[in-house]
Amino acid sequence: MTEQRRSKTLTVVLMIAPFVITYLTVFAYPVYKMFALSFTDAPLIGEGRWIGFDNYIKLLNQKLFFTSVWNTGYFVLLTVVPNTLIGLGLALMVVRLKGWLQSLILVLFFLPYILPVSVVTQIWQWVLDQQFGIAQYAIEFFTGKRISVFRDPIWAMPMVALVTVWWTNGFNLLLFIAGLRNIPADYYEAAALDGATRWQCFRRITWPLIWPVTALVLTLQLILQLKIFDQVYLMTEGGPFNSTYVLLQLVYREAFRLNHGGLGSAVAVFLFLIIVTVSVLQYQLLRVRGR
Amino acid sequence: MQRKSIGNILLLVLTLCVACMWAFPIYWAVVTSIKPEQEVVTKTTFIPDVFNFSAYYFALFETNLAAWYVNSLVTSIGVTVIVILISVMCAYALSQIVFAGRRLLYGIILASFMVPSQALVVSQFVLMYRFGLINTWGGIILPQLIIPVVVIVYKQFFDSVPKELREAAKLDGCGDFQILFRLYLPLNWGITTALAIITYIMAWNAFLWPFLVTNSEDMMTVTVGITQVDDAFGVKYARDMAVAILAAMPVAVAYLLFQKRVTQALMLSSGIKG
């Protein structure tokens, strides 16, 4: 009996050890270390002194911190709701198609999502290039002049948002299509018998039944877009005049450029807390839906 | 009835137009890459006059692309294999074996969903530095190994395998490792390929972490490396596009070959059963 128990214990240990050890080393410990570092004046590499909440106080006195918070919020505003609505709109179009045509169209919409971020930014830098970019025809048509969009403080963030929507929308589209396919066809047949118009069908059947997926997409987007860094860094490096500086970029700047590991960690803690809060809210929201 | 079908045709045309516009930047990148550099900036042609592959020649032979490819392949395959292996074992134990702390461990893994890995980059960098892994494959791979959703998806699938199978195998004298790798894993082969492909695509596309942990050009992954090309050679759009297309090729091909699996994995990881 003890022999059997010992072998069971050994099996469990061998099975969970690789994951648990990796988890503790590269995940749990860094979480702890992030908090610990944020209370010190440590450089990126090396020891620091305990300085309590000084880093946090310093952040509250740093203009760039508020700029980054504001810009991150602005970016979230520009992406989350539009991305969700566009995803739903495209899904409503695609879901009506049949067979190979649907697969083909779906690929066209989904392809950007699997591209690496640096490929996406390279493509758009070319498309939006001030001198030769093909999108400048459209920009010139609407504004009367060519605009170097990533060097213009007013255009930069909306353009980063546009590229982001293009890049990430495929995933939302997919979730919406799955949601739409789950709506039983009899509902629409019954509505058609009652002579319902297309709009009435959408308003009374589709929208209420797709709302749970919409809530899921909205919250997933919110969490995702709060973590923005790659696109901004590659297209504008936070410029011009810090008009696209975001929180994660401040982490990068403080820790990796200015060698302020402690202060960088404090910004990271701030971002971490925001995202955990949003995630908890999302969990509550989706649990309510699940019951 | 007549009006309805006209409406349908209009909607179809609209859908096609939007889809073409959506995919246009990708098409434009491809077309640009096969034009001579001169033509790229002198005229706007939607189909090139002549097909010219000099940009690809440049990308393949006069940049570090080959080294970046090797780095990307090794690290993304490494991440994929290790993630699947450690997650599947952990998930099997969580699903099939009763042991002390099982619920706690599962709870912790579930809670990890909330942790944004991007916030951990500073402390992970310090850790990799202490391990001496800056500018190494190990340094690129290690922090990417924890993907809680893989464990959770596997656990859910193992939960739904009939208990009798494991009991029968036990009576035949199989140990749990044998049961996992010879019975449970083959039974869930579909979900394994789905999770593996999506992990591979995510690892290939990762930018922030490989960007931070590598600074020598020889050690960069494709995603990071290609951002260095125009710094060194000035802006040449045909070349940039050729490099970008080559960088995206391994994931684009993986996606086109395994479309169903990719979408299935994405659905599962977002909590919608596929």
pLDDT digits (tens, 9 = 90+) for B113-131: 889 999 999 999 999 999 9
Q: How far apart are CA A65 and CA A61, in angstroms?
A: 8
Q: Which residues in B lie closer than 8 A to residue A27 (C-beta atoms)?
A: 112, 115, 117, 120, 146
pTM for the full predicted model: 0.92
- Residues 6 or more apart whose CB falls under 8 angstroms from that of B84 comprise B150, B192, B195, B196, B199
Q: How far apart are CA A9 and CA A5, in angstroms?
A: 6
Q: How far apart are CA A206 and CA B265, in angstroms?
A: 25
Calculate mean pLDDT across residues B167-183. Answer: 92
Task: Check residues B2 and A2 and name the one with the higher pLDDT.
Answer: A2
B17 phi and psi, to 5 degrees? -60, -50
Beta partners for residue A87, in sequence order: none
- Asked if B251's CB is within 8 angstroms of A115's CB, the reply is yes
Q: How far is CA B42 from the centre of its chain?
A: 37
pLDDT one digit per residue (tens) for chain A, 291 residues = 577 888 889 999 999 999 999 999 999 999 999 999 999 999 999 888 999 899 999 999 999 999 999 999 999 999 999 999 999 999 999 998 888 999 999 999 999 999 999 999 999 999 998 888 889 888 888 988 888 888 899 999 999 999 999 999 999 999 999 999 988 888 888 888 888 888 888 888 899 999 989 988 999 999 999 999 999 999 998 888 989 999 999 999 999 999 999 999 999 999 999 999 998 888 887 776 554
> Is some CB atom of chain B closer than 8 A to the CB atom of A279?
yes
- Asked if B212's CB is within 8 angstroms of A19's CB, the reply is no
Q: Under DSSP, is residue B163 helix (H, G, I), strand (E, B) or coil? A: helix
Partner-chain residue, chosen from A12, A116, A275, that has the shortest CB–CB distance to B114 = A275
ipTM rounded to 2 decimals: 0.91
B72 — pLDDT class (breaks 50, 70, 90): very high
Is residue A125 within 8 A of residue A235, CB to CB? The reply is yes
CA distance A16 to chain B (A): 5
Is residue A191 within 8 A of residue A205, CB to CB? The reply is yes
Is residue B55 within 8 A of residue B34, CB to CB? The reply is yes
- Which structure tokens are listed for A167? 């890049």
- Asked if A119's CB is within 8 angstroms of B247's CB, the reply is yes
- Which structure tokens are listed for B108? 């912790």
Half-sphere exposure of B29 (CA within 13 A, CB side): 26
Residue range B20-45, pLDDT digits in tens = 999 999 999 999 999 888 788 777 78
Q: Could you give the residue ranges of the DSSP H alpha helices within chain A?
A: 2-23, 29-38, 54-60, 63-95, 99-114, 117-127, 136-143, 156-181, 185-193, 198-201, 207-226, 230-235, 247-252, 261-290
Q: How close are the terminal C-alpha atoms of chain A, in Å?
A: 43
The confidence score (pLDDT) of residue A7 equals 85
Q: How far apart are CA A222 and CA A95, in angstroms?
A: 25
Q: How far apart are CA A113 and CA A165, in angstroms?
A: 10
**Residue B48 burial (10 A CB sphere; 0-12, 13-18, 19+):** middle
- Asked if A116's CB is within 8 angstroms of B122's CB, the reply is no
Looking at residue A196, the DSSP 8-state letter turns out to be: -
Beta partners for residue A40, in sequence order: A50
